[in-house]
Structure 1
Amino acid sequence: MYKVIIADDEPRAIEVLEKLLGNFAGYTVIKTIRDESEILPSVIALEPDLLFLDINLGQTTGMDVARELNMLGRPLQIIFITAYNQYALEAFDCKACDYLLKPVSLARLSQALKHFEEHYHVNVPIE
């Protein structure tokens, strides 16, 4: 079972993504976040496997959050979900697993989740 956090400042975007994720067995949304200040503490406390992260979060950007999370050194995969295609290259520089444009289709989400599953197993440390 993969634990998922969705961080987006738009309630409707969170609702749509949660509904789409309901089509995929093995994924549980453990938290939704609208306030950017909750993202880092929630990731640290809840240890999700996957974070869906919006680019435009208000005072900060998803890129800034991704950079901070990368410094934590935990195997967390990030899929950016945004209405802006111009940030894709920067997102992959931040070690993004994938980049989804809103509105997200079920087919494209399926492709992103397959990509996540391939990357997740590669980046999980062996104990």
Structure 2
Amino acid sequence: MGSITILVVDDERYAREELTYLLGKFPRVQVVGEAESGEAAILKALQIHPDVVFLDVEMPKMNGIEVAKTLSGFKKVPLIIFATAYPQFAAEAFRINAVDYLLKPYDERLLEQTIERIEKTLSPAPTADSMEKLGKLAIETGGDIDYILPQNILYIYRDDKVTKIITQTDGYDVRTTLKELESRLVPFSFFRIHKGYLVNLKYVSRLTPWFNGAYQLELEGLEQKLSVSRNYVKELRQRLEL
């Protein structure tokens, strides 16, 4: 996948400039256009066909929800990220399949998570041929190299400067970053439930509401419950449920 093209839509110029600046910190992202109104956003999207539209909700005449509904009828439907100062619109935003919902002022950490979610959504699904060529995951432990089947991994988490891999029978400490392991395990059913946790979805047995929109997750054969950040709940359920 090449650059991710983005259209920034906001009726306030300074808000557009701030978001464009923050998005410029991500090497795979390219802001290819801006629009100051809903009507202008639709015309611009028709011209440049962006991969993603960062869309303000509260705009005069035509608001962001109305724009998103119009864009959903395009031949190439862009991913929608709502960016607004009004949290009360979140429920309606997700009803029209928005990928994410960012509140102003922007939190750079949450913006990074949004970009990661966009990259996952736009990444092509692995083919059967590519799956057949995949081998085992190499784990260096004390000079030795252990090979483990990704299918046998329950979950992976980051603990200080060490990444811990928990399988059905063993645990491994490695220096490899969680992000690098996540990229190597893309063809398999792994999902980030928290900034520091990856789980193998094939072992998920239960989700339990916790607090502030977060959930607790249970894995087959594991007594410990893992926390699911509320930012990942919607996508997790989409991945798990028929």
Q: Distance in 1 between matches of 2:6 and 2:57?
A: 17
Q: Which residue of 2 aligns with 1:95?
A: 97
Instruction: Provide the secondary structure at the position in 2 that maps to 1:5.
Output: strand
Q: Which residue of 1 aligns with 2:87?
A: 85
Provide the identity percentage.
33
Q: TM-score, normalised by structure 2?
A: 0.49
Q: Which residue of 1 aligns with 2:189?
A: none
- Structure 1 ranges of 4+ moved more than 4 A: none
Instruction: Provide the secondary structure at the position in 1 that maps to 2:72.
Output: helix
Equivalent residues in 2 for 1:23-42, closer than 5 Å: 23-42=25-44
Cα deviation, residue 122, structure 1: 6.0
Cα deviation, residue 73, structure 1: 4.1
Cα deviation, residue 36, structure 1: 2.3
Q: Judging changes above 3 Å, is the alpha-carbon distance between structure 1 residues 53 and 122 closer, same or farther for their aligned structure 2 residues?
A: farther
Higher strand content, 1 or 2: 2
Instruction: Let me know the Cα RMSD of the aligned residues.
Output: 1.4
Q: Which residue of 2 aligns with 1:17?
A: 19
Q: Distance in 2 between matches of 1:111 and 1:83?
A: 18
Q: Which residue of 2 aligns with 1:66?
A: 68
The structure number with the bigger radius of gyration is 2
Q: Distance in 2 between matches of 1:19 and 1:71?
A: 30
Instruction: Provide the secondary structure at the position in 2 that maps to 1:72.
Output: coil
Between 1 and 2, higher relative CO (CA 8 Å, sep ≥ 6) is seen in 1
Instruction: Provide the secondary structure at the position in 1 that maps to 2:62.
Output: coil
Instruction: Provide the secondary structure at the position in 2 that maps to 1:3.
Output: strand
Q: Distance in 1 between matches of 2:124 and 2:77?
A: 9
Q: Which residue of 2 aligns with 1:111?
A: 113
Cα deviation, residue 6, structure 1: 0.2
Q: Which runs of 5+ in 2 are unaligned?
A: 126-242
Higher helix content, 1 or 2: 1
Cα deviation, residue 120, structure 1: 2.1
Instruction: Provide the secondary structure at the position in 2 that maps to 1:79.
Output: strand
Q: Distance in 2 between matches of 1:96 and 1:70?
A: 10
Q: Distance in 2 between matches of 1:122 and 1:95?
A: 19
Q: Which amino acid aligns with 2:33?
A: K
Q: Which residue of 1 aligns with 2:195?
A: none
